């Protein structure tokens, strides 16, 4: 890779430090989920079904994986119960990123029954959604495990859950693209058209924020050659055929990291193994999520 940019350097420059914003995201996500479930304010008495249970009733519960997958979302689930009651204790048997077999108990929960049952659905929603995302990402990464290619996410995320889903991508073995519109340049077709050319767009980007990563999306070989002349950080080959990708990598000669995107899925991923690109970005990782099947059971 050119400009001394390796996977780690590019990952760091693509987005803000995820660890710096994740705690805030966890709390915000959980507050909104509980408010949604409890009619706008987090009041125990708002749960009609829980009102059937005595205030001094306590229980022990477990959360169980009902299918194989990658665990993700433990901090979100913990926050759900922490907000509802300081008397709830959670002991996790596994941590995020672990491979879990169907039937495994991932944690035990003890405390007041009312609050545990109130938090059940919100906690499971976070766990099943984020674990589903991590599991899908891991499927892609497993196919590419013997290559240099790394899987990237996109901004195609569920509204309000971007940080959570990008965290899930990392737990599954993938890398994060930029977090949003504010932390890196991605100069696409419409930006190029509005600026007049790739060269004009890149020059403006460098003058506006010279320390930000600049990635340019190209749709043909001529645009690739123009992008290469402008010393950008990453070039995205958008909807290139396999033949065009091979041509692009020959022209590039590893001067600039190359990313490919467009209609790539588990069925055709192996076609890219010998293309010598650096990244494959896939929107489906965070927008077409199949939730894992989990359940909470009271003993």
Residues annotated as catalytic are: 156
CB environment 98-136: b (16+ within 10 A), e (fewer): bebeeebebbebebbbbbbbbbbebbbbbbbbbbbbbbb
Burial zone of 40 (CB within 10 Å; 0-12 exposed, 13-18 middle, 19+ buried): exposed
Contacts of 97 by beta carbon, 8 Å cutoff, 6+ apart: 70, 71, 72, 134, 171, 172
Q: How many CB atoms lie within 10 A of CB 228?
A: 20
Helix (H, G, I), strand (E, B) or coil at 199: helix
**CB-based contact 68:102 (threshold 8 Å):** yes
Closest CA to 148 of 185, 178, 175: 175
Q: Are strands 89-92 and 105-112 parallel, antiparallel or unpaired?
A: antiparallel
Edge-to-edge order in the sheet of strand 105-112: 89-92, 105-112, 58-65, 294-298
d(CA 299, CA 287): 35
d(CA 3, CA 255): 8
């Amino acid at each position: 890779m050119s400009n001394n940019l390796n996977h780690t350097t590019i990952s760091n420059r693509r987005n803000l430090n995820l660890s710096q914003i994740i705690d805030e995201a966890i709390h915000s996500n959980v507050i909104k989920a509980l408010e949604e479930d409890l009619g706008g304010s987090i009041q125990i008495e708002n749960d009609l079904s829980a009102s059937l249970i005595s205030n001094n009733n306590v229980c022990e519960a477990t959360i169980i994986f009902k299918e194989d997958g990658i665990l993700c979302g433990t901090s979100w689930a913990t926050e759900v119960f922490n907000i509802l009651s300081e008397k709830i204790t959670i002991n996790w048997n596994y941590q995020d990123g672990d491979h879990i077999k169907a039937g495994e108990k991932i944690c035990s929960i003890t405390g007041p029954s009312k609050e545990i049952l109130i938090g059940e659905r919100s906690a499971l929603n976070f766990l099943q959604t984020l674990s589903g995302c991590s599991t899908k990402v891991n499927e892609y990464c497993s196919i590419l495990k013997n290559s240099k290619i790394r899987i990237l996410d996109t901004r195609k995320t569920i509204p309000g859950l971007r940080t959570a889903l990008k965290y899930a991508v990392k737990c599954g073995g993938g890398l994060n693209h930029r977090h949003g519109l504010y932390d890196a340049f991605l100069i696409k077709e419409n930006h190029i058209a509005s600026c007049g050319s790739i060269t004009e767009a890149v020059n403006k980007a460098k003058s506006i924020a010279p320390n930000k990563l600049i990635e340019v999306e190209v749709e043909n070989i001529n645009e690739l050659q123009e992008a290469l002349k402008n010393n950008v950080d990453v070039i995205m080959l958008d909807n290139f055929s396999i033949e065009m990708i091979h041509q692009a990598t020959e022209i590039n000669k590893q001067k600039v990291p190359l990313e490919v995107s467009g209609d790539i899925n588990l069925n055709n991923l192996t076609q890219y193994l010998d293309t010598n690109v650096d990244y494959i970005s896939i929107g489906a990782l965070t927008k077409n999520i199949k939730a894992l099947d989990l359940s909470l059971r009271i003993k």
